[in-house]
Amino acid sequence: MTIEQVRAAYEQQPFQPFSLHLADGRVIHGYHRDFIMSAPTGRTLAVYQPDGVCNIIDLLLVTDLELQPPAPVTTGSRLPPELEKKRRVHSCDNNLGN
C-alpha cells in the first residue's frame, strides 16, 4: 500500500470512511479525515479513533484499503451510531455522581 493510495481515499469528496486491513489481521477504521495524519516520510500513518485511541500504522503492513459507504449527512455528532451510543452512556455515567 502506498501513501498515494491512502491519500486518494483521504482526499475523496465527500469523504468516504475507510478500513485499513493489516498483515496481522487487524482492521483499523478511518472514520473522518480529521482523525488521520501521515508522517512527513509518507511511510507511517496515525489514525485516531473517536474514543481517543491512536493507531500508528506502517503502510508496508497494509494489505487492503476498503472504502465504506459515505456517512449520512446529519446535524450533530460525526461519530458512527454505535460509538455515539457509547459516548452518550459514558457522558451520563460521568454525571451520576454530581
**Into how many domains does the chain fold?**
1
Q: For residue range 5-38, what is the model confidence (pLDDT) as tens digits? A: 888 988 899 899 999 999 999 999 999 999 999 9
Domain span holding position 64: 3-73
Q: What is the pTM of this model?
A: 0.68
- Asked if residue 15 is part of any domain, the answer here is yes
- Of 7, 27, 31, 2, residue with least CA distance to 18: 31
85 is written with which cell numbers?
Answer: 451510543
For residue 57, give the C-alpha cell.
500504522
CATH code of 62's domain: 2.30.30.100
Q: Report residue 72 as a C-alpha cell.
A: 449520512
- What pLDDT is attached to residue 27? 97
Confidence grade of residue 63 (pLDDT, cut at 50, 70, 90): very high
Torsion sign (Cα): 8, 10, 75, 68: positive
